[in-house]
């Protein structure tokens, strides 16, 4: 039997070994630019509603406009109606992005009940129509981001992976938790290994990669083609270089100094204000400031003080005054401030 020739593609784009995850309310344009300028080879937009684009929702369009001229970038969309998905795919594709990703993992009740995010995986036939519409609408790199299933009794990652591959997706990103697990408990990396062995297209592993060592362990334990990082990059754009250097040389570069952290944070603040205006930019950066300064002793009063400020200059001045006091790190040997995860 004749072998079907591979579908022609406009781009030969492939996922790199390390990438920044889509995180709603966090990985906005400013955060993505900071990650890229610190060596992150690929970033994803926050999830964008296909229906919102179709219905000309202002907030949704603002998110897409925020992505203009950004490279390399994958835009993530969600929805369940083939028509909206097809239109959104075409719109996003016309912006010249490197790739488009369909969110099949969002656990949020409202999204789930609307047969979107993880909810669409409960309806495989409808998922087939959605993916077919996407593939028809674009030649660019197409991927899905999935969870393992709704709960441990309904693991469906192989079936969903199979559908994605069969409908012409170029890669699967796998957050190895069920919907029921939310973002807690340990990500089950053996599921990633299982999916990687099962599919022919690249599988990107996601869940609990927080530093160079855990990244390497995920590669070794699962055989995955790349790792995606969400919470490990909070206030820590250095993580990408750290991982890539370690993978290439076996040496972990030293953590950033206080001066480096502060100058990156200030740049991040300025970018946030450029993109969102002073009031919204400062407000939305509050949590990120907390992540950058985490790991130093007695940062609570500093956070409280910053949370009362509304101007960029006020926040920068306060941070500089704090840095001038040579704040002590919580535990010198711990290096970068990192969120706590179950140990592996």
Ligand X SMILES: Cc1cc2nc3c(=O)[nH]c(=O)nc-3n(C[C@H](O)[C@H](O)[C@H](O)COP(=O)(O)O)c2cc1C
Nearer to ligand X, 170 or 312 (CB): 170
User: For residue 2, what are its two tokens?
Assistant: 């004749």
Q: Is 67 a catalytic residue?
A: no
Q: Whole-number minimum distance, CB 5 to ligand X, in Å?
A: 32
What is the crossing angle of helices 82-94 and 124-137, to 10°? 30
Interatomic CA distance for residues 38 and 230, integer angstroms: 15
Contacting residues for 160 by C-beta, under 8 A, at least 6 apart: 104, 121, 124, 127, 144, 146, 172
Torsion sign (Cα): 264, 267, 273, 279: positive
Q: Which of 46, 98, 194, 242 binds ligand X (CB under 6 A)?
A: 46
User: For residue 5, what are its two tokens?
Assistant: 């020739």
Q: Whole-number minimum distance, CB 258 to ligand X, in Å?
A: 25
Q: Where are the beta strands (DSSP E) in the chain?
A: 18-20, 43-44, 48-49, 73-78, 99-104, 141-146, 171-175, 203-206, 226-229
Task: Give residues 191-230 in contact with ligand X (rule: CB under 6 A).
Answer: 206-209, 229-230
Report the DSSP beta bridge partners of residue 229: 20
Task: Give residues 272-331 in contact with ligand X (rule: CB under 6 A).
Answer: none
Contacting residues for 342 by C-beta, under 8 A, at least 6 apart: 185, 186, 208
Q: Which stretch binds ligand X (CB under 6 A): 17-25, 35-43, 246-254, 277-285?
A: 17-25
First-last CA distance in the chain: 47
Nearer to ligand X, 105 or 319 (CB): 105
Nearer to ligand X, 82 or 205 (CB): 205
Nearer to ligand X, 175 or 196 (CB): 175
Nearer to ligand X, 232 or 262 (CB): 232
Total binding residues toward ligand X, as defined by CB under 6 A: 21
Of 44, 178, 47, give the one whose Cα is nearest residue 107: 178
Q: Which stretch binds ligand X (CB under 6 A): 3-11, 21-29, 152-160, 271-279?
A: 21-29
Largest CA distance in the chain: 74
Give CA angle at 133 (131, 138), nearest 5°: 95
Report the DSSP beta bridge partners of residue 20: 229
Q: Whole-number minimum distance, CB 143 to ligand X, in Å?
A: 11
Please, how many CA atoms are within 13 Å of residue 212, restricted to the half-sphere of its CB? 18
Q: Which stretch binds ligand X (CB under 6 A): 3-11, 22-30, 150-158, 241-249?
A: 22-30
Q: Closest residue to ligand X, Cβ-based?
A: 230
Q: Which stretch binds ligand X (CB under 6 A): 20-28, 83-91, 246-254, 281-289?
A: 20-28
Task: Give residues 233-272 in contact with ligand X (rule: CB under 6 A).
Answer: none
Task: Give residues 131-190 in contact with ligand X (rule: CB under 6 A).
Answer: 145, 175, 183
Choose the catalytic residue: 106, 140, 169, 224.
Answer: 106
Task: Give residues 25-44 in contact with ligand X (rule: CB under 6 A).
Answer: 25
Q: Per-residue string for binding with ligand X, 92-121, x by CB under 6 A? A: -----------x-x----------------
Binding residues for ligand X, per CB under 6 A? Answer: 21-25, 46-47, 76, 103, 105, 145, 175, 183, 206-209, 229-232
Residues carrying an active site annotation: 106
């Amino acid at each position: 039997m004749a072998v079907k020739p591979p579908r022609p593609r406009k781009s030969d784009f492939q996922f790199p070994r390390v990438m920044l995850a889509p995180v709603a309310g966090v990985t906005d344009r400013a955060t993505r630019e900071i990650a890229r300028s610190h060596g992150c080879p690929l970033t994803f937009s926050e999830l964008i509603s296909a229906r919102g684009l179709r219905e000309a929702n202002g907030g949704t369009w603002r998110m897409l406009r925020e992505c203009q001229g950004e490279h390399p970038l994958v835009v993530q969309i969600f929805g369940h109606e083939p028509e909206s998905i097809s239109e959104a795919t075409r719109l996003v594709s016309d912006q010249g992005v490197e790739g488009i990703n369909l969110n099949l993992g969002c656990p949020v009740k409202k999204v789930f009940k609307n047969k979107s995010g993880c909810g669409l995986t409960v309806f495989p036939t409808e998922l087939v129509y959605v993916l077919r519409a996407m593939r028809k609408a674009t030649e660019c790199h197409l991927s899905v981001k999935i969870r393992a299933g709704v709960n441990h009794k309904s693991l469906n990652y192989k079936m969903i992976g199979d559908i994605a591959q069969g409908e012409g997706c170029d890669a699967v990103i796998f957050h190895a938790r069920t919907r029921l697990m939310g973002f807690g408990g340990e990500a089950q990396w053996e599921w990633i290994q299982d999916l990687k062995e099962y599919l022919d297209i690249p599988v990107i592993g996601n869940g609990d990669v927080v530093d160079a060592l855990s990244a390497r362990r995920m590669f070794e334990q699962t055989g995955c083609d790349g790792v995606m990082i969400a919470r490990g990059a909070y206030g820590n754009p250095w993580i990408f270089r750290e991982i890539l250097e370690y993978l290439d040389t076996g040496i972990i570069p030293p953590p950033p100094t206080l001066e480096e952290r502060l100058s990156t944070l200030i740049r991040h603040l300025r970018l946030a204000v450029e993109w969102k205006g002073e009031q919204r930019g400062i407000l939305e950066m509050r949590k990120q400031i907390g992540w950058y300064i985490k790991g130093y002793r007695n940062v609570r009063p500093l956070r409280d003080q910053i949370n009362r400020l509304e101007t960029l200059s006020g926040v920068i001045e306060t941070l500089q005054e704090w840095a001038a006091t040579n704040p002590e790190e919580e535990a010198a040997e711990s290096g970068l401030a990192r969120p706590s995860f179950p140990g592996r």
